[in-house]
Amino acid sequence: MSRICAITGKRPRQGGKIIHKGQSKKSGGIGLQLVKNNKRTFRPNVQRIRVKLPNGSVKRMWVAVKALKAGLVEKA
């Protein structure tokens, strides 16, 4: 099961980790050069919590912490 927020729809995203080397111009070098761009996955901070639904029932679902802090869901 993939970790997708049931409220906001946040899901893992693909991206890159850029690696630089060298000495900055400010400290006497020729500047930073790009060495490598590694592929990586940015994962959202989702937690499996018990959520109280509007009809009064309780259900476990994956919810992003950002949605919890914003008050978009009511914990059971």
Task: Kindly give the residue spans of alpha helices, DSSP state H, lying in 5-74.
Answer: 65-70
**pLDDT score for 76:** 87
SS3 call for 26: helix
Q: Domains (ranges, CATH) in the chain?
A: 13-70 (2.30.170)
pTM of the model: 0.71
Sign of CA dihedral 72, 56, 45, 8: negative
Distance CA 58, CA 55 (A): 9
Render pLDDT for 14-69 as a digit per residue (tens, 0 to 9). Answer: 999 999 999 999 999 999 999 999 999 999 999 999 999 999 999 999 999 999 99
Q: Are 29 and 22 in contact (CB under 8 A)?
A: yes
Distance CA 4, CA 48 (A): 10
